[in-house]
Amino acid sequence: MNISEKDLIRIISYARAHCENKCPADRDPEVCLALVEICKELDLEPPECVQEMGGFVKSYFLAKIREVEQRRGKPIKEVLKEYEVVGVRNFEEHIDRMEADFALRAIKAIDKRAAEKVERRNQ
């Protein structure tokens, strides 16, 4: 595939705008991670949330999970299961559910991308 850098920058700018308008409701951590990495590669400013999330790194998401676990007094999978069964009762629980779910999916995306990079190097 041969895409000019100019077109790629336009597409990334469009994606960032979509990202900022749709987040957090429609966020997909795999797409977020790809967007962050492409912005770094093209020396473009990443989406605003990247700074809030400590650079979209695994340690940030692990800390976010620990925060929710400490507040709720149980492992994150139990917290999410409870929200699934009982539902969220207030705004704080809604935020915790969204952040915990996203953090788990972000960790999975980060690990998957790292494994893919190792696999490509080994080929």
Q: What does each of the 123 residues of the chain score in pLDDT, given as a tens digit?
A: 788 889 999 999 888 888 888 777 678 889 889 999 999 888 988 888 888 888 889 999 999 999 999 999 999 999 999 999 999 999 999 999 999 999 999 999 999 999 998 988 888
Whether 76 and 123 map to the same domain: the answer is yes
**51: Cα separation from own chain's centroid:** 12
Nearest to 15, CA basis, from 90, 104, 33:
33
3-state secondary structure (DSSP) of residue 16? helix
**What's residue 108's pLDDT?**
96
Nearest to 105, CA basis, from 51, 64, 72:
64
**What's residue 104's pLDDT?**
95
pTM of structure: 0.84
Whether 120 and 73 map to the same domain: the answer is yes
Q: How many CB atoms lie within 10 A of CB 60?
A: 16
Whether 67 and 42 map to the same domain: the answer is no
Whether 45 and 66 map to the same domain: the answer is no
**What's residue 3's pLDDT?**
85
3-state secondary structure (DSSP) of residue 111? helix
Whether 94 and 122 map to the same domain: the answer is yes
Q: How many CB atoms lie within 10 A of CB 15?
A: 17
Number of domains making up the chain: 2
3-state secondary structure (DSSP) of residue 56? coil
